Amino acid sequence: MSVNNCQPRYMHKSLKSSRRLMAVLLLMAGCSASSEHDRDTTSWPEVLQFQSVGWGHHAPLDSMRNTTRRISSHAEWTLYQDSLQPLRPFQPVDFSTQMLILVATPVPSTGYGLRVETVETFLDTTTVTYRVYAPAPDCLVADLPGNVFDVVRLNRHDNPMRYLEETEAIRCSVR
């Protein structure tokens, strides 16, 4: 085999590799190029930061329906705080810059829990998504109805509120 016969084959492979590299670069450039719509952050929900202030299993609120409240003042918070029984003391809140969200739901027995999962703002509406954890049929629970609740604090705002409930069954047996 002569050198002249080998050189075109290596050049051909090199040319193929260059074409592949160029194709990959073009694909990557196409993926990273953003349109004006992609840069418009108003079309995506803004995730709001929040912290739990307290949660528990006994809230003597209206036991027939869910309770969702925006609490914007210390006076209003005192009305609820005295009736809620958190598992740990409530964390402090600065109502000059923060507000509270209270979510409570009636439950038929022990074994339930409730947690605020996300708080998002989209098109000037704030959506609070919370999850109710329910015991699966394999759980042993006491037949003691109650209200589970979660209270979270976040930066103060005046957007209309919307609440979404999700439910998740928690298995008790190990399989």
Spell out the SS3 assignment of the chain.
Answer: CCHHHHHHHHHHHHHHHHHHHHHHHHHHHHHHCCCHHHHCHHHCCEECCEEEEEEEEECCCCCCCCEEEEECCHHHHHHHHCCCEECCCCCCCCCCCEEEEEEEEEECCCCCEEEEEEEEEECCEEEEEEEEEEECCCCCCCCCCEEEEEEEEEECCCCCEEEEEEEEEECCCCC
11 pLDDT more than 80? no
pTM equals 0.71
- Report whether pLDDT(8) > 50: no
pLDDT in tens, 65-101: 788 999 999 999 998 888 888 999 999 999 999 999 9
Under a CB-based contact definition with an 8 Å cutoff, are residues 66 and 126 in contact?
Answer: no
- Residue 130: pLDDT band by 50, 70, 90 thresholds? very high
pLDDT at 5 over 50: no
User: What is the overall mean pLDDT for the chain?
Assistant: 80
* All structural domains of the chain with their residue ranges: 3-33, 43-170
Find the range with the poorest average confidence among 30-44, 106-120, 148-162: 30-44
Q: What distance in Å separates the CA atoms of residue 63 and residue 129, rounded to the nearest whole number?
A: 21
pLDDT at 172: 83
Report the distance separating Cα 2 and Cα 8, nearest Å.
11
Q: What is the pLDDT of residue 27?
A: 54
The per-residue pLDDT for 6 is 44
The number of residues making up the chain comes to 175
